[in-house]
C-alpha cells in the first residue's frame, strides 16, 4: 500500500480522502524537520504547513516521494525547484483560504477608516468621543491591490460592493482586468492609491520590498494592509512611515518574526511601538484561518493529488 505522511493538523477530509485514494496515512503533527528526514524514506506523499522546511536534505532522504502538499498559499518553505528535478510534484491550496484572507482585509480596512479599534477602546474606558472618531467612506477611496493572484482576486470581489475604485498590479501577470478591477502599472498604484493591500509571495525578490524607499514612492499618505508574508515588509520602516504620516493606518496579520519566544530586545521595542498605536491593527497570522478555509485547504490539496491519480471525479 502507498503511504502518506501528514505533518500537522488538517481537516479530516484530507486523511479520509487520501485513504480513499489508496494511501495508508500516518498523522504526526509534532514531527520536527529532523524527525521527518529520519522516516520520510518510505512515503509517497508528504503534507505540511508553513512550519516544516522541505529542503534538499529532506528531499534527498525521500526516496519514494511523488507529491508534496503545502496547506494554503505560498511555497517559500519548500525547495520546489529541486523537488521537480527529482520528479516530485509540489502543490499548495491558495484557493482554500483566499476568500478568508479577502474578508479579513476588508474588515481591517473598514476598521481603520472608521476608527473602530480606537472608539471601542475609548467606550470600554467610559469615554464617549464622537467628533474625533469621524470616519471615512470606502466608496470615496481608490484601493490598490499589489499582487493579483488568488488572494488579490478574492479581495477585489469582496470590495466590489463598496463602490470604491479598485486598481491592481502584478509584475508577473497581465490581461486580468475586468469589470471589477482595473489592471494598472506599479506607478499608478503609487500615484492613485488611498489604501494599499499587499498580496505577494515571499521570494528573494519580495523579501524586504515594503520598505522606506517603496513607501516614499506613494504620492499621498495611505492606509496599508499586509496579509501576505511578514518578511515582505521591514518593520522598522513601517514604524517610520507611521511616525512621518506616510502611513495613516496600518493592519498587519503577518510579521517579520512570528515567534514571540525568540524576540530580541529591539524586536520587542518595535512591537510595543506598533501595539501602542490606535491606528494600528495587529492579528496573529489568522487571516486565512476560518472553519470554512480549514476544510477547503484540505479539499483542494486532495483534489490536486487525486487528479494526478486519475480519479479526481470521485472526490467532487
pLDDT in tens, 11-40: 999 999 999 999 999 999 999 999 999 999
Q: Report the phi/psi class of residue 259: left, alpha or beta, with left for phi > 0 and alpha for psi in -120 to 50.
A: beta
2-92+291-315 folds as Rossmann fold (3.40.50)
- pLDDT tops 60 at residue 314: no
β-pairing verdict for 247-252 and 222-226: parallel
Helices (H), the chain: 12-20, 33-39, 56-61, 80-85, 94-113, 116-124, 150-159, 186-192, 212-215, 235-244, 265-275, 291-308
170-180 per-position pLDDT tens digit: 999 999 999 99
Q: What percent of the chain has pLDDT over 90?
A: 95
Dmax (CA) for the chain in angstroms is 68
pTM of this structure: 0.92
Give the domain ranges of the chain. 2-92+291-315, 96-282
CA dihedral 94, 95, 98, 100 (to 10 degrees): -120
pLDDT at residue 307 in the model: 79
Separation between Cα atoms, residue 146 and residue 199, nearest integer Å: 6
Tell me how many degrees the CA angle 16-21-27 measures, rounded to the nearest 5: 45
Residue 72 and residue 63: Cα distance in Å, rounded?
A: 25
Q: Per this entry, what is the length of the chain? A: 316
Closest CA to 182 of 156, 219, 163: 156
Nearest by Cα to 172 from 193, 146, 198, 151: 146
pLDDT digits (tens, 9 = 90+) for 41-80: 999 999 999 899 999 999 999 999 999 999 999 899 999 9
**For domain 96-282, which architecture applies?**
3-Layer(aba) Sandwich (3.40)
With residues binned 3-state (H G I as helix, E B as strand, rest as coil), the percentages for the chain, rounded to 5, are 45, 20, 40
Spatial separation of the C-alpha atoms in residues 151 and 190, rounded to whole Å: 20
What residues contact residue 70 under an 8 Å CB cut-off, 6+ apart? 48, 49, 50, 77, 78, 90, 91, 92, 93, 301
Percent of the chain with pLDDT over 70: 97
CATH topology agreement for domains 2-92+291-315 and 96-282: yes
Please write the tens of the pLDDT for every residue from 245-291: 999 999 999 999 999 999 999 999 999 999 999 999 999 999 999 99
- Whether the pLDDT of residue 222 is over 90: the answer is yes
Tell me the pLDDT tens digit for each residue of 148-185.
999 999 999 999 999 999 999 999 999 999 999 999 99
Nearest residue to 152 (alpha-carbon basis) of 137, 138, 166: 166
Amino acid at each position: 500500500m502507498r503511504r502518506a505522511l501528514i505533518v500537522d493538523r488538517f481537516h479530516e477530509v484530507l486523511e479520509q480522502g487520501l485513504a480513499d485514494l489508496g494511501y495508508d496515512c500516518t498523522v504526526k503533527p509534532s514531527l520536527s524537520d529532523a524527525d521527518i528526514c529520519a522516516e520520510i524514506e518510505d512515503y509517497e506523499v508528504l503534507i505540511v504547513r508553513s512550519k516544516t522546511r522541505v529542503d534538499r536534505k529532506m528531499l534527498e532522504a525521500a526516496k519514494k516521494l511523488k507529491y508534496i502538499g503545502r496547506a494554503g498559499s505560498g511555497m517559500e518553505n519548500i525547495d520546489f525547484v529541486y523537488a521537480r528535478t527529482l520528479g516530485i510534484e509540489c502543490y499548495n491550496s491558495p484557493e482554500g483560504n483566499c476568500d478568508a484572507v479577502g474578508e479579513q482585509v476588508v474588515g481591517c480596512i473598514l476598521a481603520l477608516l472608521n476608527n473602530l479599534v480606537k472608539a471601542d477602546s475609548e467606550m470600554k474606558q467610559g469615554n464617549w468621543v464622537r467628533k474625533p472618531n469621524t470616519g471615512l467612506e470606502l466608496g470615496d477611496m481608490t484601493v490598490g491591490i499589489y499582487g493579483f493572484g488568488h488572494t488579490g482576486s478574492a479581495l477585489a470581489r469582496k470590495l466590489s460592493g463598496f463602490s470604491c475604485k479598485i486598481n491592481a498590479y502584478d509584475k508577473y501577470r497581465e490581461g486580468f482586468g475586468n469589470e471589477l478591477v482595473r489592471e494598472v502599472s506599479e506607478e499608478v498604484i503609487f500615484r492613485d492609491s488611498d489604501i494599499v493591500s499587499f498580496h505577494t509571495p515571499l521570494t528573494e525578490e519580495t523579501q524586504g520590498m515594503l520598505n522606506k524607499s517603496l513607501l516614499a514612492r506613494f504620492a499621498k499618505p495611505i492606509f496599508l494592509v499586509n496579509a501576505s508574508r511578514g518578511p515582505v515588509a521591514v518593520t522598522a520602516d513601517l514604524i517610520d512611515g507611521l511616525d512621518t504620516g506616510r502611513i495613516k493606518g496600518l493592519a498587519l496579520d503577518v510579521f517579520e518574526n512570528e515567534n514571540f519566544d525568540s524576540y530580541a530586545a529591539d524586536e520587542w521595542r518595535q512591537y510595543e511601538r506598533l501595539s501602542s498605536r490606535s491606528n494600528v491593527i495587529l492579528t496573529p497570522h489568522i487571516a486565512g484561518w476560518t472553519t470554512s478555509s480549514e476544510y477547503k485547504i484540505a479539499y483542494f490539496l486532495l483534489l490536486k493529488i487525486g487528479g494526478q491519480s486519475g480519479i479526481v471525479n470521485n472526490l467532487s
